[in-house]
């Protein structure tokens, strides 16, 4: 039995065409709902809001493969899956370019006052630029934390497109990629001290949770701009608010939140004037969604044919 979770209406037909017997569930489910509705599943194809916990894995006796339509897999209990011999596949590169594009969409929207300008003309019927002076990107120093596929794309757009100075921190530096994409590796402390804008592109791991915190913010330039399109928990929200209130941080642009399931916990950060929040749409574009499903389908087909899986998560 093959079950797809978190499927939008426009994607149902493509699944039914390739896997006509698959069960398709539109919304993310909680633990008990997954156990009840997917009890006989041999293959689960999920997205990031379906929490495949130890309890879920323990109570799906036939489960053999989990395919997550995402780069990250922190919503899956890897140890529990490994104990039961369940294979896990992800989609390592379906939208690195569109996520990189979204970084600059956020930067331009916020730093050039696009929304305020539109409101002024449309709602207030004023064609007046006063008070909307923006910040140019050219010659600014962009600091990237994480230089995977997304980080590399951001670096290339920043350096070649906007003529920015790009520095980066990654515990696993790729000097060839740095030369190819026009950026320089530095220590994390130096990146925090030298950057005008910091953009986060690292996975959520124990050592990256709250990598942006009170101490790291204190090391940053006054007026720092922070962008996060990776995972909400990488930033300590309380420290972010403190930085905004003190004006140490001038702008924050987020596509993810630390407490996405409870927006009430994020009310203060969402309503802060110098903050723009989008609802995890950085990846969500036409060509990236097409590739996401193609890669997921490929993993499922290979598994069903007994072939070697291309995107199996290491160690599982």
Per-residue pLDDT tens over the stretch 130-171: 999 999 999 999 999 999 999 999 999 999 999 999 999 999
Number of neighbouring beta carbons within 10 Å of residue 166: 27
- For the chain, the average pLDDT equals 96
CA distance 67 to 171: 27
The pLDDT of residue 265: 87
Q: Give residues with Cβ within 8 angstroms of 148, minimum separation 6.
A: 96, 201, 202, 203
pTM of the model: 0.86
The pLDDT of residue 225: 99
The pLDDT of residue 71: 86
CA dihedral 215, 216, 221, 223 (to 10 degrees): -90
pLDDT at 282 over 70: yes
CA distance 73 to 15: 22
Ranges of beta strands (E only) in the chain are 2-5, 23-25, 43-46, 65-68, 87-89, 141-145, 165-169, 184-185, 197-200, 224-228, 249-254, 275-277
Where does 96-277 sit in CATH, by number? 3.40.50.720
The architecture that CATH gives domain 2-94+285-305 is 3-Layer(aba) Sandwich (3.40)
Cα–Cα distance list, 237 to 50, 77, 228, 259, 277 (Å) = 23, 25, 12, 9, 13
| Catalytic residue annotation | 231, 260, 280
Task: Give CATH 3.40.50.720 domain extents, the chain.
Answer: 2-94+285-305, 96-277
CA distance 254 to 81: 31
pLDDT at 315 over 80: no
Percent of the chain scoring above 90 in pLDDT: 92
């Amino acid at each position: 039995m093959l079950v797809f979770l978190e499927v939008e209406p426009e994607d149902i037909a493509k699944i039914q065409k390739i896997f006509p017997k698959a069960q398709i569930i539109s919304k993310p489910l909680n633990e008990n709902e997954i156990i009840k509705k997917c009890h006989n599943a041999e293959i689960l194809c999920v997205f990031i809001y379906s929490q495949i916990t130890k309890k879920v894995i323990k109570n799906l006796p036939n489960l053999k493969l989990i395919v997550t339509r995402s780069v990250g897999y922190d919503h899956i209990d890897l140890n529990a899956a490994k104990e039961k011999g369940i294979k896990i596949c992800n989609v390592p590169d379906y939208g690195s370019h569109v996520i990189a594009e979204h970084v600059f969409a956020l930067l331009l929207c916020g730093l050039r006052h696009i929304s305020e300008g539109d409101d002024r003309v449309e709602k207030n019927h004023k064609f007046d630029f006063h008070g909307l002076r923006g910040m140019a990107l050219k010659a600014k120093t962009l600091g990237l934390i994480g230089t995977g596929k997304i980080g590399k794309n951001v670096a290339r757009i920043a350096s070649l497109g906007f003529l920015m100075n790009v520095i980066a921190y990654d515990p696993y530096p790729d000097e060839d990629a740095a030369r190819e994409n026009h950026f320089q590796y530095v220590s994390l402390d130096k990146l925090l001290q030298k950057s005008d804008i910091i953009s986060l592109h690292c996975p959520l791991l124990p050592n990256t949770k709250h990598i942006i915190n009170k101490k790291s913010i204190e090391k940053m330039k006054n007026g720092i701009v922070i962008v996060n399109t990776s995972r909400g928990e990488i930033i300590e929200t309380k420290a972010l608010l403190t930085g905004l209130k003190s004006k140490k941080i001038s702008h924050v642009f987020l596509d993810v939140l630390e407490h996405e399931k409870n927006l009430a916990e994020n009310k203060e950060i969402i309503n802060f004037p110098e903050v723009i929040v989008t609802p995890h749409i950085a990846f969500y574009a036409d060509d990236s969604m097409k590739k996401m499903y193609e890669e997921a389908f490929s993993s499922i087909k290979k598994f069903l044919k007994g072939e070697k899986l291309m995107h199996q998560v290491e160690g599982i």
